[in-house]
Structure 1
Amino acid sequence: MPTVDITLAQTQLASLLEAASRGEEVVITLDGRTAVKLVPVQVRRVLKFGTMKGKIRIPEDFDAPLQEDIQAAFEGK
């Protein structure tokens, strides 16, 4: 984890951002104390609607009442 002073960070910002985008954490200090940390942004994968079409099957009786003993177990009886 590279640590750089704010004055150096100002002159080398592009290379520090590149390092952070590669996964490195870059700490920038101000007067010898940690001021900020550059970290890569976590990219969230966007789910596309319909990608599981034909791969999931819901049975006709999926909402049928449970057997009495199983229902009792769910209710803590």
Structure 2
Amino acid sequence: MQTVNIHEAKTHLSRLVEQAAKGEPFVIAKAGKQLVKVSALDSPTGDQMRRLGFLSGYIKVPDDFDRMGSEEIGQLFGADDETTA
């Protein structure tokens, strides 16, 4: 595994990150003392990725969803009964 000092890492960061992303991790050292290891993250596979709508067909939103609790909310804010109906 390649070890680079901080100055070299700053100078060649783009190249080093590309190498790490391809599976070649490296270590950054300061004054010869190893500080951190940089390696690629595991990307989720297609089956592991969550998408919007993944519960489609499993839940049902009520038709009056936007009016649910309107009476209680109206009472909390002092609305009369005619405006909440």
**TM-score for the superposition, normalised by structure 1:** 0.58
Gaps of 5+ in 2: 55-85
Structure-2 residue corresponding to 1:17: 17
Q: Deviations over 1:11-68 (max 9, x none)?
A: 000000001000011111011111111100101224376xxxxxxxxxxxxxxxxxxx
1:39 aligns with 2:21: no
Q: 2: distance between equivalents of 1:39 and 1:30?
A: 18
Q: 2: distance between equivalents of 1:43 and 1:8?
A: 27
Which has the larger helix fraction? Answer: 2
Identity percentage over the alignment?
37
Structure 1 counterpart SS, 2:44: coil
1:29 aligns with 2:36: no
Structure 2 counterpart SS, 1:16: helix
**Higher-RCO chain (CA-CA 8 Å, sequence separation at least 6):** 1
Q: RMSD of aligned C-alpha atoms?
A: 1.5
Q: 2: distance between equivalents of 1:4 and 1:13?
A: 10
Q: 2: distance between equivalents of 1:6 and 1:37?
A: 12
1:2 aligns with 2:2: yes
Length, aligned pairs only = 49
**TM-score for the superposition, normalised by structure 2:** 0.52
